Amino acid sequence: MEAPIAYIVIPCYNEEEVLYETVQRLTRKLDHMAAKKQIHEKSRIMLVNDGSKDKTWQMIEELYEKNSYVTGVNLSRNKGHQNALLAGLLTAKEYGDIVISMDADLQDDIEALDRFVEEYQKGSQIVYGVRASREKDTFFKKYTALGFYKVMQLMGVELVYNHADYRLLSKRAIEELAEFKEVNLFLRGLIPMLGFQTSVVEYERNERFAGESKYPLKKMIAFAIDGVTSCSIKPIRLITLSGVVISIFSLFFLVYVILGQFAGTTVRGWATSIVLICFFGGFQIFCIGIVGEYVGKIYNETKQRPRYIIADKRIK
């Protein structure tokens, strides 16, 4: 098999602290892989600037002039990690045979790239990078991540455990991914829907080289909500099931009250009534909120606005 042209797509948002180091390490790695004929010499690094507020795009332009591997895509404004990643994937598929996505912070192990390409050459159209362990995580990070995957699976979203966005996609897989037209993107849930032959590469995740995480707890919660409501209608079904259960419970309670009246017992329990009213009132608001999430998603989809706008490109 001829060595594939590989594109490494890296979404960048305020990454000026790590960008030079990331490109330097990837350049050495691509040189090594090209020398071994694992990848074609036309392989490139594609840096996608997601509306950064710092000098990220200026640095990408500078690297483009100095480094033969570097190409760049500049979005017109910040559209979020998933949209920036998709912009890179859909742009890179026009030039490469395979596209590998990774983060800019050097937490994804660059040395695993050889194994990604090996799995592709064995026939896999999709190769998932999966963390071998979470021993380096804090207690809070470890168990919130575990909870994230458990909740997503419970809600009917198909995910690869301990996989983020470090993956290889063939040109064919990306062409099929392009057929998914939804605006509300959750790529971790969409890509398993593609099917095709897949494989897994385990790696040890490193500490962030510099800067701070772009996904604090607030964004992680929002990300999880987007993931569930974009890929599953199970919450709506759970609301329906809860409504049935509560209705049955109410009927039993009604029978209990009627029998109490016939028995001549005094019905007491003002505090109990207030607690039940508050509970069911809160539950109703929660259910309305879930329905509202889906209505909001439908609203965004029907407008059919572009997921991103590319303001500029630097392609060799």
Q: What pLDDT, on the 0 to 100 scale, is given for residue 144?
A: 67
Percent of the chain with pLDDT over 90: 37
CA dihedral sign of residues 204, 208, 213, 216: positive
- State how beta strands 6-12 and 98-101 pair: parallel
Q: Where residue 190 falls among pLDDT bands split at 50, 70, 90?
A: confident
Task: Please name the amino acid found at residue 24.
Answer: Q
Mean pLDDT of the chain: 81
Q: Indicate the domain borders of the chain.
A: 6-216+308-314, 234-303
Q: How confident is the model at residue 289, as a pLDDT?
A: 73
Fold assignment, 6-216+308-314? Spore Coat Polysaccharide Biosynthesis Protein SpsA; Chain A (3.90.550)
Q: Which pLDDT does position 56 carry in this prediction?
A: 93
Pairing assessment for the beta strands 310-314 and 126-131 based on DSSP bridges:
unpaired
What whole-number distance in Å separates Cα of residue 33 and Cα of residue 219? 36
Calculate mean pLDDT across residues 34-39: 91
Instruction: Report which listed range, 70-84, 196-210, 274-288, is most confident.
Output: 70-84
**33-47, 163-177, 230-244, 252-266: range with lowest mean pLDDT:** 252-266
Average pLDDT estimate for 105-117: 90
Residue 7 buriedness (CB in 10 A; 0-12 / 13-18 / 19+): buried
Share of the chain above pLDDT 70, in %: 73
* pLDDT score for 262: 67
